[in-house]
Amino acid sequence: MHIAVLKDAAGAEARVAATPDTVKAYVADGHVVNVVKGAGKASDFADALYKEAGASLSASNTAAVKSADLVMSVTGGTVKLLAAMKKGAAITGLLSPTDHPNYVQAAAKAGVTAIALEWIPRISRAQSMDVLSSQSNLAGYRSVVEGAGIYGRALPMMMTAAGTIAPAKIFIMGVGVAGLQAIATARRLGAVTTATDVRPATKEQVASLGAKFIAVENDEFKAAETAGGYAKQMSAEYQALQAELTASHIAKQDIVITTALIPGRDAPVLVTKAMLDTMKPGSVLVDLAVERGGNVEGSKPGEIVTTKNGVQIVGHLNWPSRMASDASNMFARNLKAFLPLVTAEDGSFVPDWDDEIVQGSALTRDGAVVNERLKVK
């Protein structure tokens, strides 16, 4: 098949969907690969490396997609680009289908199969394709490292001739993939680490990383995990108890990382203005949920907000793009693991429409929106 690798939106997205390594493997499998000039630059992959790997270079996204059967992107490119693609071709990326209904409609209209990689079902067989996990893992790591960089003090305990520095206290709220990596990173840096979540399964995971688990462990907590492994929306009563517990704990923390999300809803507010007021000047909050409304009251997308009492709230967007080289490597490997599901034995592009991974992630087919999650109920 013909594969095109896009240059994603300049500035906003530093990642690339294929690396020289994955391109080399595609070429070895007999595919023809076209990479847009500069596609890998922000991830430190020069055009020359793609050429060495066997790709040819295209001057623009539009030129690259014209003959492509499969277009690989991180964010899906523009609606206009869909119209430049061949009918029956496909485009993969993080497409945010529910946030971008126009894009989905445009893909259907263009006869293009749009494949949302973030909707790949999180079943064991798809673990190697799980872009949400590979990218969240890096985001969790980076949140602690950047939080530590902004925090004006040391993290580990230091006993020196000039006196002792007490270890910093880091609190992780939300222990999914990002939260677990944040805990591991905070521990490696020597901080006294605590964590909370509403899913009981996380208690053991937190303990296994050497951190202390803190949560309201009532009957509602015991039933807070959905069959899919995600958190349920908690009741107002539970949230009040959780807020009480958080309020007393948070006042003693130096760095707080929040990662709490509930599928299909706004992020729950876990840190209120009143709680922020009790925190020490110089303490730092990193709100990884800021794109979904935020876990911290007053956090702003893309900004670092300083409160009246000198607490900094970090609202950076697109954390994986801040470590684009590693993030691209992981993303590209996830995509490479997905490729066999849309490849026939002769190497041509043929999605296996009976496969639940294809069904879960493909949004459109032959001019229609086909994904169950997008069908009006």
Contacting positions for ligand NAD (CB under 6 A): 122, 124, 127, 130, 132-133, 136, 173-179, 196-199, 202, 229-231, 234, 259-263, 268, 270
Annotate 53-67 with DSSP letters as a single string.
Answer: TT-EEESSHHHHHTT
C-alpha to C-alpha distances, 80 to 113, 230, 362, 370, nearest whole angstrom: 15, 35, 20, 21
Beta strands in the chain (DSSP E): 2-5, 32-36, 56-58, 70-72, 90-93, 113-116, 158-160, 163-165, 169-173, 192-196, 212-213, 255-258, 284-287, 304-306, 312-314, 364-365, 368-369
Closest CA to 267 of 292, 291, 245, 287: 292
* Residue 89 CB neighbours (<10 A): 22
* Residue type at 239 in one-letter notation: Q
Query: In the complex with ligand NAD, which residue's Cβ is closer, 179 or 360?
Result: 179
Closest CA to 34 of 67, 74, 3, 9: 3
Query: In the complex with ligand NAD, which residue's Cβ is closer, 38 or 213?
Result: 213
Query: In the complex with ligand NAD, which residue's Cβ is closer, 22 or 259?
Result: 259
* Shortest Å distance, C-beta 373 to ligand NAD: 16
Q: Pairing state of beta strands 32-36 and 312-314?
A: unpaired
Cα gap 285→314, rounded to integer Å = 6
Instruction: Please say whether the beta carbons of 143 and 286 come within 8 A.
Output: yes
CA distance from start to end of the chain: 36
Active-site option among 43, 58, 73, 133: 133
The answer to whether 103 is a known catalytic residue is: no
The answer to whether 153 is a known catalytic residue is: no
State the angle between helix axes of 201-208 and 177-188 in degrees (0 to 180), rounded to the nearest 10. 20
* Shortest Å distance, C-beta 140 to ligand NAD: 9
Query: In the complex with ligand NAD, which residue's Cβ is closer, 314 or 357?
Result: 357
* Shortest Å distance, C-beta 328 to ligand NAD: 20
Query: In the complex with ligand NAD, which residue's Cβ is closer, 20 or 176?
Result: 176
The answer to whether 242 is a known catalytic residue is: no
List the Cα angle 85/87/88 in 5-degree steps: 110
* Shortest Å distance, C-beta 180 to ligand NAD: 8
Active-site option among 230, 292, 322, 325: 230
Query: In the complex with ligand NAD, which residue's Cβ is closer, 28 or 274?
Result: 274
Active-site option among 8, 69, 130, 254: 130
* Shortest Å distance, C-beta 246 to ligand NAD: 9
Query: In the complex with ligand NAD, which residue's Cβ is closer, 55 or 186?
Result: 186
Cα gap 106→101, rounded to integer Å = 9
* Shortest Å distance, C-beta 6 to ligand NAD: 26
Pull the structure tokens for residue 103. Answer: 């894009």
Name the closest residue to ligand NAD (Cβ).
Answer: 176
Active-site option among 47, 67, 122, 188: 122
* Residue 255 CB neighbours (<10 A): 28
The answer to whether 130 is a known catalytic residue is: yes
The answer to whether 127 is a known catalytic residue is: yes
* Shortest Å distance, C-beta 96 to ligand NAD: 14
- Tell me, rounded to whole angstroms, the distance of Cα 99 from its chain centroid: 15
Which residues are catalytically annotated? 122, 127, 130, 133, 230
